[in-house]
Structure 1
């Protein structure tokens, strides 16, 4: 095996490895002899099949396996001999037109990690903005919960239903006089104005009283999920069994018990803890930005282009996803496209700070334990289909780059916590509004920094458009669960409610397929 360095410029390295045909042939022959005793063939006793027949039967497969092995070994040897620290998975190629019986020429292209001088972690000074949770905030949270736990009581029979009232109805739907499947329900609750049913259904029930019978006509939307109903006119025979009005929610122990808690005090205690957790997350975000700014100020070193490109692609994909949800996606896409270079600078600064934090962690013995890593892998495996989870776990355990990518966020948080412990921190009490304003001021400062050659590690996205949100917002609450679908096809599809002012619930991600292991080289 002959190794020749072909590129050594900055962080870029390239090597050409020549593997003699004789070495490849010798290893194939060794594999033939190794498997021959296990080969079974009609007309031969077990273990007595001639080597030439074994090679004829399995030679192509053995040659491919041998090539993968020698290529992988050549990459390992290049890394070890040259003491290389690859920034990402090297690009490995087998010379075009390679044929069995000829020398194999393998090219290895990679970028190496830069030499980073870890800074002295002593002398860091940070200000921690803390927000005491006021009783008023707890009461407001309590009222919000009460508003979501509405109850209704029977209204007088003479009351005409209006928006906000709940109706208990029976209905039967038909098209051209024929009932259709799923168009019938008994004792169905419906709040007028909730947008629960297709357009026109609820509005026509305004003014009905308990005991009324009414036939209403509606048109199913063109994009209705049930294709046999989409765009069709339908009639619904509706019987109003009860008109109900919203009942006053009493905030007492009984209310707390209805939520599974022992008392109202316990509910308030829980809410206070949640509010403290929220504000603590904001406090950490603001303090972490201070820390990263201090670290970035004294370090400017080259970073691997491929790492920057990978980080940029993540940011860009998130921005485009957010833009697609905007009411005017084309305008937002045009706006972020004009600032593409700024986001690339942000990606570069993130990579630089990530490498710096990694160096600090290594120098000071910060580690992710095997137990923590196992938990990370198990959590990540849950996003795959059940039948693929074990394969994903094996993939991560066998691919150092995949494991490193999974480990990186937790490792970074542990290094940040280590630096917080080392820093001289002064506390200042502020209101939540003041804390949020401080974070927003950091975001505005980030916009200015993005126009410079370096960009911040955890730069928030810009506020000019909804698409410009922070690409990885760890403290974001999970989306609310989607309400279970009604059987009646008259229900309006949740995803189609353009006039719904509430944030749409996030759809559960489709289960992924476990990644297939990459071949050592491509022909």
Structure 2
């Protein structure tokens, strides 16, 4: 049996559960008899071990299992009878025996419930809808990037099929191969020496002083110069110190970028080498990328608006669970990147703010979907999968990939559901269009 529900806080509740000790004892005896059928002990055949020995060996474990089952069943019944939507797991504690019914066991179950709220009028909610255009300039920049990805290097100053690259002097854009040695107080340091080290000048791979010293050199020339390592340099042994480097340029190559011609177009998968078709394909791919990023930014704006528009208390238990989940996801991600995080603590409280927002949004979205029938339809899921598949060589294979796994399909369903919510909010709120430059949307990745 269970007592009436006590309200401890806004969302915290408590129920006292009790049941006769005789029920526990009876169930323990039944389970021990089942165990006795296969129990083993030295000097006895299986199934012939005396019950006293079976009870001594398994009694505590079985009693714990029975109590857990009894309390769980009783709590579930009480929650259903009181129409409680329990958030997280209840905290079960033995109740003080004072005032308890003789011959019975009593436990306090303390728990939280889901908040009751409605998503009201959203007409005052402000949402920013991002828009970005893909112009010829963006296509040209992308072509330049594709050319650089297919660059060929030739010895500078030597005549070849594509020319000699001009004066054989190191300039930005050239690939320099050199030997170098660095010393601090006249002593070489770890990582400060290399032979046949190659890098492209002007890409920012090396420290500015190193690149500046290499510029203007000809093959075979050497130069000695001071280099001050930044205080936050990744090499702790040299961070904040000044070294003396000597570099010797061994080989200098100039970059030959392929011409934008039919052969270039064919290298990008345009079989007939048509340049107009190549540009159209590039534009289509850019627009697909832009579409995804624009949707993501608009979705973020919608979620921000919902968090501001709907206020309610969030169950602490759900926030703690999500914080633990985020901590574990972070640990796994860092481990996959090759970082040794075995003994690194990841306190869930570090993720509390993010977890609280995620839980809040999850509850708001669930309420919006339920109240406005925004569930993802089979047609929408199919359309989303087909859209994903369009950017692959064999779209039908990608469609099969998603439909062969319920978990993958569930992820698509969640995306569609979110999109349904976003479209619903956009139709109800105060929407402001914002034109975002292409480079800004792409995080300057197109530069």
| TM-score of the superposed pair, with normalisation by structure 1 | 0.53
Indicate the residue corresponding to 1:328 in structure 2: none
Indicate the residue corresponding to 1:387 in structure 2: none
Equivalent residues of 2:2, 2:78 under 8 A apart? no
Indicate the residue corresponding to 1:185 in structure 2: 195
Indicate the residue corresponding to 2:100 in structure 1: none
Indicate the residue corresponding to 1:58 in structure 2: 58
Q: Distance in 2 between matches of 1:284 and 1:259?
A: 27
Say which one has the larger Rg. Answer: 2
**CA distances 1:471-521 after superposition (whole Å, capped 9, x unpaired):** xxxxx97998xxxxxxxxxxxxxxxxxxxxx99xxxxxxxxxxxxxxxxxx
**CA distances 1:265-288 after superposition (whole Å, capped 9, x unpaired):** 454233212332244346646876
Q: Secondary structure at the match of 1:76?
A: helix
Indicate the residue corresponding to 2:345 in structure 1: none
Equivalent residue for 2:282, pick from 263, 271, 290:
271
Equivalent residue for 1:105, pick from 107, 117, 125:
107
Equivalent residues of 1:174, 1:180 under 8 A apart? no
2:211 maps to 1:202: yes
In structure 2, the CA distance between the partners of 1:13 and 1:286, relative to structure 1 (3 Å rule), is same
Name the count of aligned residue pairs. 369
Q: Secondary structure at the match of 2:27?
A: helix
Equivalent residues of 2:233, 2:240 under 8 A apart? yes
Equivalent residue for 1:241, pick from 236, 250, 263:
250
Equivalent residues of 1:118, 1:356 under 8 A apart? no
Q: Distance in 1 between matches of 2:319 and 2:90?
A: 15
Q: Distance in 1 between matches of 2:41 and 2:444?
A: 61
Deviation of 1:4 after TM superposition, in Å, equals 3.1
Q: Distance in 1 between matches of 2:364 and 2:412?
A: 13
Q: Secondary structure at the match of 2:15?
A: strand
2:309 maps to 1:306: no
Runs (5+) with no aligned partner, structure 1: 120-125, 322-341, 376-396, 398-402, 438-475, 481-501, 504-523
2:102 maps to 1:91: no
User: Equivalences for 1:68-147 in 2 at 5 Å?
Assistant: 68-86=68-86, 88-95=87-94, 103-114=105-116, 116=118, 133-146=134-147
Equivalent residues of 1:94, 1:105 under 8 A apart? yes
Q: Distance in 1 between matches of 2:187 and 2:10?
A: 78
Indicate the residue corresponding to 2:417 in structure 1: 414
Equivalent residues of 1:172, 1:238 under 8 A apart? yes
Q: Secondary structure at the match of 2:435?
A: helix
Deviation of 1:254 after TM superposition, in Å, equals 3.1
**CA distances 1:140-172 after superposition (whole Å, capped 9, x unpaired):** 332344456554433228633234432123456
In structure 2, the CA distance between the partners of 1:50 and 1:180, relative to structure 1 (3 Å rule), is same
In structure 2, the CA distance between the partners of 1:62 and 1:365, relative to structure 1 (3 Å rule), is same
Equivalent residue for 1:252, pick from 254, 261, 282:
261
Equivalent residues of 1:154, 1:244 under 8 A apart? yes
In structure 2, the CA distance between the partners of 1:103 and 1:47, relative to structure 1 (3 Å rule), is same
Q: Distance in 2 between matches of 1:224 and 1:136?
A: 37
Moved more, 270-279 or 256-265: 256-265
Indicate the residue corresponding to 1:467 in structure 2: none
Provide the aligned C-alpha RMSD in A: 5.6
**CA distances 1:355-402 after superposition (whole Å, capped 9, x unpaired):** 4323136x4664689x99xx9xxxxxxxxxxxxxxxxxxxxx9xxxxx
Deviation of 1:52 after TM superposition, in Å, equals 1.6
Q: Secondary structure at the match of 1:60?
A: helix
Runs (5+) with no aligned partner, structure 2: 98-102, 122-126, 159-166, 331-352, 386-405
**CA distances 1:77-118 after superposition (whole Å, capped 9, x unpaired):** 2232223233x21432223789xx972413132213427599
Q: Distance in 1 between matches of 2:131 and 2:443?
A: 24
Q: Distance in 2 between matches of 1:243 and 1:113?
A: 69
**CA distances 1:385-431 after superposition (whole Å, capped 9, x unpaired):** xxxxxxxxxxxx9xxxxx9xx97995474264388599989xxxx9x
Equivalent residues of 1:75, 1:108 under 8 A apart? no
In structure 2, the CA distance between the partners of 1:294 and 1:105, relative to structure 1 (3 Å rule), is closer
In structure 2, the CA distance between the partners of 1:15 and 1:279, relative to structure 1 (3 Å rule), is same
